């Protein structure tokens, strides 16, 4: 997978501009929403296992907090930079607005490859980064969650570090925590489950049956791996899977149990038995009905969009399709279900976790999934109605709803002072 051949932030702004043009958004609000409200960068030391001190760079960007506290994940990735974090923070604002949960958008990142660190090093890095951003976060201010390279354990360390500074336990400062310290049932699977609810609705409208559909997935982490499992349970055939190192394809369907065993052993799907070896570029162009980019930004670009064979592209990753590729896919009749709708299940169950934490009243997994389904189906219907009525791509419709909701909240609150 290659990133940074395109600038994710400029692409996010382009997508915003399309919506702002159609909405005829007032110049002031337009300039306001086009850029992040607040940005923080830091360089901080971590003592490594060998006694050396290494300096890491971290970020936290809050794009907007008009509709509620800032919300968004923390990414640990060697190629991340401030523009990626800006883009992802902006996407979080729109995502929360599309599913109408009371948050603004934020994102954080540390430039690091966690696979190269020991568990102790990751814990020290996390606790130091949490301390660096501790003046920016809080249950009413900005609530981090997992993203690429981070997980429930890392959220537990952030929660613990923040709580130690405050002198009391503050579970609602992060979401995506382990269940035994206030995490929510269903949070781990939530992004994939939400994606599948949306896909089910879209397939119904497009007269495609998930049972028997050929599915290709780029990424086999939390979202890609869980989506594969859920879709296989619904009768879909997973015909291609890849991650950072490459992947495998099999027109007869990949044995997911065998693939999972290989992944658990090696940390990658590359080199797994039971299929032909494919590169990431080849994977995206495999014949299939449904393509799920579930990895990283800028994977479907003007360079490969005309060779994508899927009927539906559903974006589990944030920003996998560039604006130029969007136009090509739309002209070719490929239905693109945008990230801010398709992968909003994760932040939706984060919202449930936050509510449960604040109320200290916990729900069953069945309740979580039922509420998630209600919100996702509702959001799809709203976006789809706008798209049909105004004959526009789902992404444009989703942006219209999200940007308008955010701008209207601004107008209602007024500009201070």
Q: Which residues are catalytic?
A: 107
Q: What minimum distance in Å lies between the beta carbon of 145 and ligand GLU? A: 3
Rounded CA-CA distance 122/133 in Å is 16
Q: Which residues, numbered 30-59, are part of the site for ligand GLU (CB under 6 A)?
A: none
Of 196, 227, 184, the C-alpha closest to 365 is 184
Rounded CA-CA distance 289/213 in Å is 6
Asked if 222 is part of the footprint of ligand GLU (rule: CB under 6 A), the reply reads no
Q: What minimum distance in Å lies between the beta carbon of 338 and ligand GLU? A: 13
Q: Which stretch binds ligand GLU (CB under 6 A): 71-79, 158-166, 294-302, 388-396?
A: 71-79
Rounded CA-CA distance 412/255 in Å is 53
Pick one of 46, 70, 145, 241: the residue that binds ligand GLU (CB under 6 A): 145
Complex with ligand GLU: residue 154 or 328, whichever CB lies closer = 154
Rounded CA-CA distance 146/188 in Å is 10
Rounded CA-CA distance 97/408 in Å is 11
Asked if 346 is part of the footprint of ligand GLU (rule: CB under 6 A), the reply reads yes
Q: Which stretch binds ligand GLU (CB under 6 A): 108-116, 163-171, 343-351, 403-411?
A: 343-351
Consecutive H or E run containing 51: none
* Contact (Cβ atoms closer than 8 angstroms) between residue 201 and residue 381: yes
Q: What minimum distance in Å lies between the beta carbon of 390 and ligand GLU? A: 26
Rounded CA-CA distance 190/375 in Å is 12
Q: Which stretch binds ligand GLU (CB under 6 A): 120-128, 280-288, 304-312, 339-347?
A: 339-347
Adjacent-strand bridge partners of 40: 60
Tokens representing 353? 């976790």
Q: Which residues, numbered 282-321, are part of the site for ligand GLU (CB under 6 A)?
A: 318
Contacts of 326 (CB under 8 A, 6+ apart): 336, 393, 395
Tokens representing 305? 């969009």
- Closest residue to ligand GLU, based on beta-carbon distance: 73
Q: Which residues, numbered 72-91, are part of the site for ligand GLU (CB under 6 A)?
A: 72-73
**82-98 and 8-23 are packed helices; what angle lies between their axes, rounded to 10 degrees?**
40
Complex with ligand GLU: residue 301 or 343, whichever CB lies closer = 343
Complex with ligand GLU: residue 110 or 248, whichever CB lies closer = 110
Complex with ligand GLU: residue 108 or 247, whichever CB lies closer = 108
Asked if 347 is part of the footprint of ligand GLU (rule: CB under 6 A), the reply reads yes
Pick one of 280, 298, 299, 350: the residue that binds ligand GLU (CB under 6 A): 350
Asked if 242 is part of the footprint of ligand GLU (rule: CB under 6 A), the reply reads no
Q: What minimum distance in Å lies between the beta carbon of 318 and ligand GLU? A: 5
Complex with ligand GLU: residue 72 or 323, whichever CB lies closer = 72
Q: What minimum distance in Å lies between the beta carbon of 328 and ligand GLU? A: 25
Asked if 175 is part of the footprint of ligand GLU (rule: CB under 6 A), the reply reads yes
Backbone angles phi, psi at 416, to 5 degrees: -85, 135
Task: Note if the bond before 143 is cis, omega within 30 degrees.
Answer: no
In the sheet with 237-243, reading across from the earlier edge strand, the strands are 276-278, 246-249, 237-243, 214-218, 290-293, 312-314, 335-337
- Residues within the interface to ligand GLU (CB under 6 A): 71-73, 145, 147, 175, 318, 343, 346-347, 350
């Amino acid at each position: 997978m290659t990133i940074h051949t395109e600038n994710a932030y400029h692409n996010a702004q382009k997508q915003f501009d399309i919506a702002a043009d159609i909405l005829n958004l007032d110049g002031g609000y337009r300039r306001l929403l086009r850029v992040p409200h607040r940005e923080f960068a830091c360089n901080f030391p971590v003592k490594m296992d060998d006694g050396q001190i290494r300096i890491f760079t971290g970020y936290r960007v809050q794009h907007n907090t008009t509709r509620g506290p800032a919300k968004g994940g923390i990414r640990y990735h060697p190629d991340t930079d401030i523009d990626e974090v800006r883009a992802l923070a902006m996407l979080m604002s729109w995502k929360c607005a599309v599913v109408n949960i009371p948050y603004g958008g934020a994102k954080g990142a540390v430039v690091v490859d966690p696979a190269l660190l020991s568990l102790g090093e990751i814990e020290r890095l996390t606790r130091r980064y949490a301390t660096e951003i501790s003046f920016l976060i809080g249950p009413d201010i900005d609530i981090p969650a997992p993203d690429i390279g981070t997980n429930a354990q890392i959220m537990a360390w952030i929660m613990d570090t923040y709580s130690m500074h405050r002198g009391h336990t503050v579970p609602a400062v992060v979401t995506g925590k382990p269940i035994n310290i206030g995490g929510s049932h269903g949070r781990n699977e939530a992004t994939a489950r939400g994606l599948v609810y949306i896909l089910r609705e879209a397939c119904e409208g497009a007269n495609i049956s998930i049972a028997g559909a050929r599915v290709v997935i780029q990424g086999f982490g939390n979202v890609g791996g869980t989506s594969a499992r859920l879709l296989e349970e619904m009768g879909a055939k997973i015909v291609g899977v890849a991650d950072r190192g490459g992947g495998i394809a099999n027109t007869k369907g990949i044995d997911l149990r065998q693939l999972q065993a290989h992944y658990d052993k090696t940390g990658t799907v590359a080199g797994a038995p039971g299929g032909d070896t494919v590169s990431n570029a080849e994977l995206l162009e495999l014949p299939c009905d449904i393509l799920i980019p579930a990895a990283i930004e800028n994977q479907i670009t003007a360079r490969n969009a005309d060779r994508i064979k899927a009927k539906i592209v559903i974006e589990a990753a944030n920003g996998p399709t560039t604006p130029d590729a969007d136009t090509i896919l739309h002209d070719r009749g490929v239905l693109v279900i945008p990230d801010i709708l398709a992968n909003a299940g994760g932040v939706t169950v984060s919202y449930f976790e936050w509510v449960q934490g604040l109320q200290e009243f916990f729900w069953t997994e069945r309740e979580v999934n039922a509420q998630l389904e209600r919100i996702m189906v509702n959001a799809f219907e709203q976006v789809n109605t706008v798209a049909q009525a105004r004959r526009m791509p789902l992404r444009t419709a989703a942006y219209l709803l999200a940007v308008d909701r955010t701008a209207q909240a601004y107008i209602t609150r007024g500009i201070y002072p």
